[in-house]
Amino acid sequence: MLRLRSLLLSCSLVALNALAQTPPPKLEPLPEPPPPPAGVLDESLEPQVTITRRGADKVEEYRLNGKLYMLKVTPSHGVPYYLMDDRGDGSWVRQDATAGSGLRVPMWVIGTF
């Protein structure tokens, strides 16, 4: 029981120490950063989106550096879904737009040969 009281006392003293701190001086907001100079932004990092119609369905193709990595299929009646090529080997995995995305482990490509 004595240990519990000493633990509670030490926790309350730490909390009171935090409350007793002086407030920081009045801070001024930082100015807005300037926009990046022209030519710094890499346009190749933006995906190229091609929208086509197949019958009544709409298909959006997403390409990065000319390589197709994702398709979004929107049926005329129904829920849109995605086909994703996570590994880049042509094996497509379907992901529904309404279902929770779940855990997606980052799989960045460091270098290609």
**CB 5 within 8 Å of CB 12:** no
Give per-residue pLDDT as tens, 14-69.
888 777 777 778 888 999 999 877 766 666 678 889 999 988 899 999 998 888 99
CA angle 112, 47, 54 (to 5 degrees): 115
Domains and CATH numbers, the chain: 46-96 (2.20.130.30)
The rounded percent of the chain whose pLDDT value lies above 90 is 19
Give residue 1's pLDDT. Answer: 82
**CB 57 within 8 Å of CB 74:** yes
Predicted TM-score of the model (pTM): 0.52
